[in-house]
Amino acid sequence: MAHSHGSPAHPTDLGGIPNPVLVEVTRSDDVESRHRASAVIVTAEGTVIEAWGDPALAVFPRSSIKPIQAMPLILSGAAEAFNLSDAELTIACGSHNGEPGHVELVENWLKRIGCTPSDLGCGGHLPYHALSAENLLRHGGSPSRLHDNCSGKHTGFLTLARHMGVPVEGYLKPDHPVQREVMKAMAFMTGFTPATTASGVDGCGIPAYAFPLQALAWSIARFGAPETLPENYAAAATRLAQAITNAPWYIAGTTRFCTVAMEALKGRVIVKAGAEGVFMAAFPAKKLGVALKIRDGAARAAEVLMAGLIRRIEGIDLADYPALNELAMPTLRTRTGEPTGLIRLAADAGI
């Protein structure tokens, strides 16, 4: 049975459901900042077993839903037709760092399907990976569409267009056949029709739709428990989960939370972050899914909360996973490296 944590004195969101502080930032021994959040744990059958805040909160999942958006690659037969590798399928689900290995993979994939970087509608930005960005600029380079963290997802969309025999032009538009297939997959996996809630445009230019947090958690729970799905969707979820588990560096990259967590837990979790403080994660062995939203959009709080939920669900001591543990309660430092405080789960978060 679902239950919420936090006192009624906490500020509330729509529906009057408490919106608890789940993450706090300290300076020395004092709490300097607080992040309010909603989070929910759902079974693959759709039962909410635990919730903090409002599980019905409508949320733009942003990049956290990329594994679901990649399912049409398998459902359509495009992945098989173009012999997509584990790395390519993973980067189609990813928000990569723009490291050289990410850029090279996307560039070669585009060539194989008869496309060029100019076909990508995602724009471009400097690599998220600081050393890669520094090296790019030092050698006189400039950020291209290949460096965009969403270039793998967009190359997946172009691959789907090629396989369907439809124009690649306009693939960002909601009525394009590619986006209709993506919406169909999201609607099926969440059990929710996207067009019935708020809609907009994501940072990379594709249509963005809001879903109840609980529906997002159910979608990723089902993704991790393919035996609960019809045969075609089960095959798609199984193939993508296998790829992500085998090649987690391509979903994010060096030192990034999603990659670090999946490398550490080796198939026990499939986790994907999104902008504005959103995360989704599947726990295949337990047939559970998690979705969370930090209400002020802070990624720093989302990672700490996700780490806490991983620890809670898996029943592990994060100290046994040093790289993940470092992200679970980051130390804040001065510019000369002296510790000043922590980002941590709130003392009364109940996680």
DSSP SS3 for 292: strand
Q: What phi, psi does 54 have (nearest 5°)?
A: -110, 105
pLDDT above 50 for 344: yes
pLDDT tens-digit series, residues 178-234: 999 999 999 999 999 877 778 999 999 999 999 999 999 999 999 999 999 999 999
Q: What phi, psi does 284 have (nearest 5°)?
A: -55, -45
Of 304, 314, 301, 218, the closest CA to residue 266 belongs to 314
What is the pLDDT at residue 196?
74
Joined tokens for residue 317 = 């001591």
What lies within 8 Å, CB to CB, of 281 at 6+ separation is 220, 269, 270, 271, 272, 289, 290, 306, 309, 310
pLDDT above 50 for 86: yes
Domains, the chain, in order of start with CATH, read 14-345 (3.40.710)
Does residue 312 or residue 7 have the better pLDDT? 312
Tell me the CA distances in angstroms from 190 to 29, 152, 222, one per residue in order: 42, 23, 9
pLDDT tens-digit series, residues 1-24: 233 333 223 444 444 567 899 999
What is the pLDDT at residue 19?
82
Rounded CA separation 179/181 (Å): 5
pLDDT above 70 for 260: yes
Mean pLDDT of the chain: 94
Please return the burial class of 175, using the count of CB atoms within 10 Å of its CB with bins 0-12, 13-18 and 19+. exposed
What is the pLDDT at residue 158?
98
Task: Specify the pTM.
Answer: 0.93
What is the pLDDT at residue 201?
94
The residue whose two tokens read 């396989």 is 163
The residue whose two tokens read 């997002």 is 216
Please say whether the beta carbons of 216 and 66 come within 8 A: no
What is the pLDDT at residue 9?
37
What is the pLDDT at residue 8?
29
Confidence tier at 138 by pLDDT (50, 70, 90): very high
